[in-house]
Structure 1
């Protein structure tokens, strides 16, 4: 990711505090930058990261004893993260196993407390310890308050990197104890060139689909949504074809449907779509059905960590989309998917 080279060098050489908030659009890029910055500070051949020394090899393998990444279990699953995410997120106080509960959307207080205890241990390679929190606003109030003492009085050699799109989502007491660095999105030509080099056909379409974030655009293709499938998605969903979402995780599928709903609102208001190509989004029948579908999607998004009802939920949402886009009333027009959606708590 060449657009991260300049901020990486600036922060590696210029950051003097022990706690740094990395903020800006594109959380995946923020995580990549934070990881590379932590790797650089741990590198045994400064200025680093050299990717060759034993410390860099450990960091890249996700097994460096002096690097800890805290993130919610939902993010670990979505990113297929194996890069050293440790801490109490893998355990809960009552001993409930991870397999018997839903994945957590939060960075739990148990994880933060484990990280604090870890930070006060000795550095394995003498380069200090690095703690990354992603996204930092996933800490609840209890977890954030547990981190405060460490921010005020960090262990010797410890650095803390907090990744968040909007620092205002963090507690004022957290923000006041950290330096900040705003990270910009790459310029459009640079993002297109990077995607092309990664083998993405029609990178313009997927970059638009991902809101301008190159890594998210690449993730769409890797998830089985190249540009041709993205072009066809609105029409297939409008036709009630739930197989258009086959193979996608439930959170990703719901997010894509929300993007389609957003663009359908734009089309109904005679405005251009934001995420899908012009002309690919059918015009909805009316605002009543469209707003009802939007409400159903918002409800589903709040509970998209439940895997048990994923196929039924997606079928219900797509059936409601079909009714939303149908130019004539159909039997699905009233309460499409109601039985599946109503199994979710409000």
Structure 2
């Protein structure tokens, strides 16, 4: 069994390699559990020159060393410019990678555009440099805009030579049906709790059980929240601080993360209103009784609208004050008087 940086990927990797019957695999599942990592492991295994008996990569051959150094001549990734640096594939180069684009003020795109697909098609038609497969990883596959997706489709239908694809997606329903139909699905579920907690602890995440719940069981997302400044104590105090109208509770988080945090709080409050336990917050951090769900539904709609514009350069302080004030009012109207006074103290 292969050892990976994300231990819960070992079993899905060997299963995917053993059952692959298509030149294109689509790794799909919830965000924050390693879809991109699994796609890279598949690519390395297909390119490895001394694979193990279970078909996983040896990690020692010349091909594996080239792969780890990101210089393998038979490997290419299709990822949005905005994600290149965070995923370890260099800083964004701007549209088309030109010097003029680098010098421009254009914000790196979150889409995979037609120019990137055209460059990949030229790569796909060339002869394999090391005589094995040529591999393309696409992530997130739903970032392909319509023109780029249609350009990719022809190659997915009729790949040249030993060309193979590993697409990874957290929203496979957003892909063109014709692309999905040409890929063999590789489902990736949430990992078991104990391996996820052990991995988070090894990453230096404090109180990993609280942050893993805050991230909905997604360990990579929990790590990202911790690295963004979220701490377990601040998370467990958030319901009380919103009930008090304290907008500074979210001051350490970026605007998109702060809105996301409020959405998770609203979600748990609505679950309480319908008699279900919360998903993201410890039970003792939430009010025990919610009598009315309607005010929370109104707050949820406001948060959903705000989330659509979370990346815009708005005045974060004023926006968060407004959203927290609306949350305070929604909680006040939703809770009976006694629990409300207790939570607001």
Give the TM-score normalised by the residue count of structure 1: 0.80
After superposition, the Cα gap between the structure-2 partners of 1:86 and 1:222, relative to the gap in structure 1 and judged at 3 Å, is: closer
**What residue ranges of structure 1 are gaps of 5+ in the alignment?**
329-346
Q: Name the residue aligned to 1:323.
A: 329
After superposition, the Cα gap between the structure-2 partners of 1:305 and 1:96, relative to the gap in structure 1 and judged at 3 Å, is: farther
Q: How many residues align?
A: 324
Tell which has more relative contact order, 1 or 2 (C-alpha 8 A, sep 6+). 2
Matched, 1:107 2:112: yes
Matched, 1:241 2:249: no
Q: Name the residue aligned to 1:116.
A: 121
Q: Are the counterparts in 2 of residues 63 and 84 from structure 1 also a CA contact under 8 Å?
A: no
Q: Name the residue aligned to 2:141.
A: 136
1:254-333 equivalence runs, <5 A: 254-282=259-287, 287-307=293-313, 309-326=315-332
Looking at structure 1, the residues matched to 75 and 30 of structure 2 have their Cα atoms a distance apart, in angstroms, of 24
User: For each residue in 1:29-62, what CA deviation from the matched residue of structure 2 results, as whole angstroms up to 9, or x when unmatched?
Assistant: 1111111111222233323433344433343343
Q: What displacement does 1:98 show?
A: 8.5
Correspondence for 2:165 among 153, 160, 163: 160
Q: Are the counterparts in 2 of residues 272 and 278 from structure 1 also a CA contact under 8 Å?
A: yes
Q: What displacement does 1:166 show?
A: 5.0
Looking at structure 2, the residues matched to 306 and 92 of structure 1 have their Cα atoms a distance apart, in angstroms, of 25
Correspondence for 1:190 among 195, 207, 212: 195
Looking at structure 1, the residues matched to 193 and 32 of structure 2 have their Cα atoms a distance apart, in angstroms, of 17
Q: Are the counterparts in 2 of residues 284 and 327 from structure 1 also a CA contact under 8 Å?
A: no
Q: Name the residue aligned to 2:68.
A: 60
Q: Are the counterparts in 2 of residues 92 and 110 from structure 1 also a CA contact under 8 Å?
A: no
Q: Are the counterparts in 2 of residues 67 and 84 from structure 1 also a CA contact under 8 Å?
A: no
After superposition, the Cα gap between the structure-2 partners of 1:309 and 1:61, relative to the gap in structure 1 and judged at 3 Å, is: farther
Looking at structure 2, the residues matched to 239 and 278 of structure 1 have their Cα atoms a distance apart, in angstroms, of 19
Q: What displacement does 1:275 show?
A: 0.7
Q: Name the residue aligned to 1:209.
A: 214
Looking at structure 2, the residues matched to 85 and 112 of structure 1 have their Cα atoms a distance apart, in angstroms, of 19
Between stretches 5-14 and 203-212, larger displacement belongs to: 5-14
SS at match of 1:185: coil
Give the TM-score normalised by the residue count of structure 2: 0.80
Q: What displacement does 1:262 show?
A: 0.8
**What residue ranges of structure 2 are gaps of 5+ in the alignment?**
1-5, 335-345
Looking at structure 1, the residues matched to 263 and 104 of structure 2 have their Cα atoms a distance apart, in angstroms, of 29
Looking at structure 1, the residues matched to 92 and 51 of structure 2 have their Cα atoms a distance apart, in angstroms, of 26
After superposition, the Cα gap between the structure-2 partners of 1:20 and 1:72, relative to the gap in structure 1 and judged at 3 Å, is: same
After superposition, the Cα gap between the structure-2 partners of 1:20 and 1:217, relative to the gap in structure 1 and judged at 3 Å, is: same
User: For each residue in 1:76-123, what CA deviation from the matched residue of structure 2 results, as whole angstroms up to 9, or x when unmatched?
Assistant: 57xx22236989x74499x76696344534322332222222222343
Q: Are the counterparts in 2 of residues 69 and 84 from structure 1 also a CA contact under 8 Å?
A: no
Q: What displacement does 1:180 show?
A: 1.8
Q: Name the residue aligned to 1:7.
A: 12
1:223-242 equivalence runs, <5 A: 223-242=228-247
Between stretches 244-253 and 148-157, larger displacement belongs to: 244-253
After superposition, the Cα gap between the structure-2 partners of 1:312 and 1:111, relative to the gap in structure 1 and judged at 3 Å, is: farther
SS at match of 2:284: coil
Between stretches 277-286 and 178-187, larger displacement belongs to: 277-286
Looking at structure 2, the residues matched to 91 and 292 of structure 1 have their Cα atoms a distance apart, in angstroms, of 43
